[in-house]
Homo-oligomer: A and B are copies of this chain.
């Protein structure tokens, strides 16, 4: 293993990222039997790692995947992974860390295993979002629905995301740069494909309750930052009407923190520009982590734009 590339963790071994592959008979590939989580760094330091690891372990408890190591061990290995990739930080700008745990091989879930444990460290995926801080992202409310907790609870972070894939395609049909937002089968807004949704009306930040969505760590961070700024956040059932008639809107997600949303289904939200409360949140968050979030993204995207990676 040289200094030239990223180092990854695969079920107890450290390997070059380029060798990070799974056999196609692994249930993680074969039946989407994987839970995962994504953390990022600010200035190379992991951000809210504890919350991400805790959520990962809740996902595993729900899916009954036995990872064979404690949350503390997972945290330690993660910090080790960061250290082992420290030589890439300058080039990356900042890292994302992807934990993925599959149930391993086996025909039946109850007798499958052992789990495959993956920790990948890589460049925070600037190319995905950096260009949208200024003009705002365009949301599209997809026809495809979120899974109901009767099928698989949206509160676990897993890889069986065909509905997300379909929603992405539908968003592209309406707006080539469209970011999908899903609804549940009752028509309530839920979340995007790896990001939570917020809107602002009459000065109140509103977001769907956390029953039928991923309980985003960045979503929690928004709550915290908003509280510090004296802003009210309300969790409530929201429908497309609320988004169409909002004053402003934004997404939250680990890689980008907060991303302004200025259009939905081709209609301008508010005056069609990133809103003042959204900006305020971004500024306060930047200050707390000691990184100008927008500026960093815009700087690093230039060298990474062609370096497409998936990470979210």
Contact = CB atoms under 8 A, between A and B. Distances in A.
Contacts of A153: 239-241
A107 B34 CA distance: 18
B62 A244 contact: yes
Interface in A237-254: 237-241, 244-245
Contacts of A47: none
A40 interface: no
Given A151-B144, A151-B151, A152-B162, A61 B109 contact: no
B29 A155 contact: no
A21 B265 CA distance: 34
A28 interface: yes
Interface in A135-183: 141-153, 155-156, 158-166, 168-174, 176
A20 interface: yes
Interface stretch (A82-90, A98-106, A295-303): A98-106
Contact of A150 (B62, B144, B155, B174): B144
Interface string A20-33: 11111101111111
Interface in A167-223: 168-174, 176, 185-188, 209, 211
A152 to B, nearest CB: 4
A211 B236 CA distance: 9
B239 A168 contact: no
Contacts of A125: 107
B158 A162 contact: yes
Q: Which of A24, A111, A153, A266 has the most CB of B within 10 A?
A: A24
B159 A161 contact: no
Nearest to A54: B245
Interface in A252-292: 265-267
A153 B150 CA distance: 16
A160 B30 CA distance: 8
B151 A147 contact: yes
A156 B186 CA distance: 17
Contacts of A120: 24
Contact of A308 (B23, B107, B141, B241): B107
26 contacts: A20-B24, A22-B22, A29-B34, A31-B162, A31-B164, A32-B32, A32-B159, A33-B162, A33-B165, A61-B267, A105-B308, A107-B128, A107-B310, A107-B312, A109-B165, A109-B172, A142-B143, A144-B150, A146-B151, A147-B147, A148-B148, A149-B240, A150-B186, A173-B265, A188-B211, A211-B239
Given A24-B118, A29-B34, A173-B265, 11 more contacts: A25-B309, A31-B165, A32-B160, A58-B241, A63-B166, A103-B165, A107-B308, A109-B166, A150-B186, A151-B162, A160-B160
